[in-house]
């Protein structure tokens, strides 16, 4: 049952619908969905995750105590290769799953549908919610209003010039009306929020940042991580945790580290994350070989969310760097802060409102004339001024604890759910 501080609800099931959800290909969106679900579970609700079989092998699974239900799917384009499908699975694929739609429209005792995707899948959620006369909210995790043109081009590359046979389903599910018809729209980044407000025909929009489990990331054995991966105890360790993807811009990090290294020859760089763009990962490996950095740089596969090595990595590093070209929010910044580590990040997207320059972190400009030199200077600033690095880290830790701990974010989300329920009740009672 809901706890005393939560309102009673006639139904307790909350259905979260992301495009994919697998522990082996973990990212910020997966973290958000899982942690919010855990908060909802503690409050007495019954959260479930309903998604596609993309990158998965099991139809049913429990991850972090939350049931995950997966359904067959397809990409409704002719001429797709296995490589095309794999690329779409990993990033941005506009999938179709009629079995998922049937499960949603017939699910009993649903309180609210929470879509974490748009396009056809978002349309399926919209139509199922309207079918059941239940509210639905949509979270924009980035990739809608605030996306660079180059990234959009990369997303559609696998389907370029491929005939599409799924447009009828998009029309049937009202895929282009998902945001217009949503009972509430949530934006994780303020830059996305500002643009959404200018393009949507309603004001049911709110900024809801990502959160972090501050207590979970507060303590870990960083020395164990260093020993496991052969990193000297006295090395200045630079860490990046994000998908191996052009958007995340690890090439800039390699270039900046190569310039930083001559003054700090005992430094090391570790990049951890799943490879969503294998060709880009190969470019990174080629750079490492050409510049003789094999003994200084490691590219590690992404860790499962429940792997202790994830938190140990933060505690092992001296500084965390996120040089992204596009970043709606940057949940890894919150994790680094919670571990008490100073952060260097791009002055772009949601990071601009997340970090305060010179107070909770340092900015670099990925579009500067010489961004690699700019990044090397930021790393030099932290390596040569350890007291300043500690000050930045402590202020970041306080920021995470006071503003972004998951119970704080969950309380804000619950208030949005209640507004969505009120709007749904009014709109269903007085349809246009």
User: 342 CB contacts (<8 Å, ≥6 apart)?
Assistant: 318, 319, 320, 336, 361, 362, 382, 389, 390, 392, 393, 396
> Residue 197's pLDDT is what?
94
**Looking at the structure, do residues 42 and 168 belong to the same domain, yes or no?**
yes
Q: What angle do CA 335, 241, 118 make, to 5 degrees?
A: 85
> Is residue 6 one of the residues assigned to a domain?
no
Whether 299 and 421 share a structural domain: no
Same domain, 394 and 247: yes
Q: How many CB atoms are located within 10 Å of the residue 398 CB?
A: 12
Residue 122 inside a domain? The answer is: yes
Q: Encode the chain (432 residues) as per-residue pLDDT tens digits.
A: 344 344 445 579 999 999 999 988 888 899 999 999 999 999 999 999 999 999 999 999 999 999 999 999 999 999 999 999 999 998 889 999 999 999 999 999 999 999 999 999 999 999 999 999 999 999 998 767 766 666 666 667 889 889 999 999 999 999 999 999 999 999 988 888 989 999 999 999 999 999 999 999 999 999 999 999 999 999 999 999 999 999 999 999 999 999 999 999 999 999 999 998 999 999 999 999 999 999 999 999 989 888 999 999 999 999 999 999 988 889 999 999 999 999 999 999 889 989 999 999 999 988 889 999 999 999 999 999 999 999 999 999 999 999 999 999 999 999 999 999 999 999 877 765
Kindly state whether residues 342 and 411 are assigned to the same domain. Answer: no
The pTM (predicted TM-score) of the whole model is 0.85
Say whether both 272 and 172 belong to one domain. Answer: no
Same domain (yes/no): 320, 388: yes
- Domain assignment of residue 369, yes or no: yes
CATH code for the domain in which residue 74 is found: 3.40.50.2000
Residues 206 and 251 in one domain: no
In a domain, 2, yes or no: no
341 falls within a domain: yes
Domain membership of residue 1 (yes or no) is no
pLDDT number for residue 189: 84
244 & 207 share domain = no
- Quick check: is 374 in a domain? yes
322 has which bridge partners? 345
Q: How far is CA 351 from CA 48, 91, 209, 245, 344, in A?
A: 30, 21, 11, 18, 10
Tell me how many domains the chain contains.
2
Residue 4 lies in a domain: no
What span, in angstroms and rounded, lies between the C-alpha atoms of 85 and 87? Answer: 5
| Same domain, residue pair 84 and 98 | yes
Under 8 Å CB-to-CB from 357, ≥6 apart: which residues?
347, 363
Range of the domain at 59: 13-211+405-426
Same domain flag for 71 and 162: yes
Q: Are residues 25 and 46 in the same domain?
A: yes
**172 plus 218 within the same structural domain:** no
Quote the pLDDT of residue 25: 83
């Amino acid at each position: 049952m809901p706890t005393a501080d939560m309102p009673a609800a006639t139904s307790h099931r909350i259905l979260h619908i992301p495009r994919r959800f697998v522990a082996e290909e973990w990212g910020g969106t997966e973290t958000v969905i899982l942690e919010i679900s855990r908060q909802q579970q503690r409050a007495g609700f019954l959260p479930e995750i309903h998604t596609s079989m993309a990158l998965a092998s099991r139809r049913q699974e429990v991850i972090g105590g939350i049931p995950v239900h997966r359904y067959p799917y397809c990409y409704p384009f002719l001429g797709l290769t296995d490589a095309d499908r794999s690329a779409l699975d990993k990033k941005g694929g506009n999938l179709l799953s009629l079995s998922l739609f049937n499960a949603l429209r017939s699910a009993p005792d649903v309180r609210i549908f929470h879509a974490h995707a748009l396009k056809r899948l978002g349309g399926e959620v919209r139509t199922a919610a309207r079918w059941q006369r239940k509210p639905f909210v949509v979270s924009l995790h980035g990739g809608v209003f605030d996306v660079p043109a180059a990234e959009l081009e990369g997303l559609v590359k696998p389907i370029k010039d491929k005939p599409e046979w799924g447009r009828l389903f998009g029309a049937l599910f009202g895929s282009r009306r998902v945001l217009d018809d949503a009972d509430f729209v949530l934006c994780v980044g303020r830059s996305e929020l500002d643009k959404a407000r200018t393009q949507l025909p309603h004001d049911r929009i709110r900024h809801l940042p990502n959160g972090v489990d501050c207590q979970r990331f507060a303590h870990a054995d960083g020395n164990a991580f260093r020993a496991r991966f052969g990193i000297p105890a006295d090395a200045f360790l630079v860490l990046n945790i994000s998908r191996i993807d052009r958007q995340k811009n690890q090439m800039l990090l390699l270039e900046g580290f190569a310039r930083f290294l001559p003054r700090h020859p005992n430094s090391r760089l570790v990049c951890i994350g799943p490879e969503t763009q294998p060709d880009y990962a190969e470019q990174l490996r080629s750079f490492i070989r050409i510049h003789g950095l094999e003994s200084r740089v490691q590219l590690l596969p992404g860790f499962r969310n429940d792997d202790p090595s994830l938190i140990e990595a933060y505690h092992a590093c001296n500084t965390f760097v996120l040089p992204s070209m596009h970043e709606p929010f940057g949940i890894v910044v919150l994790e680094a802060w919670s571990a008490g580590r100073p952060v260097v990040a791009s002055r772009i997207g949601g990071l601009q409102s997340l970090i305060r320059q010179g107070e909770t972190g340092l900015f670099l400009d990925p579009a500067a004339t010489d961004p690699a030199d700019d990044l090397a200077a930021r790393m030099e600033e932290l390596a040569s001024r350890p007291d300043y690095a500690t000050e930045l880290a402590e202020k970041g830790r306080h920021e995470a604890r006071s503003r972004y701990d998951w119970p704080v974010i969950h309380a804000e989300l619950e208030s949005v759910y209640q507004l969505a329920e009120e709007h749904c009740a009014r709109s269903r009672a007085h349809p246009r």
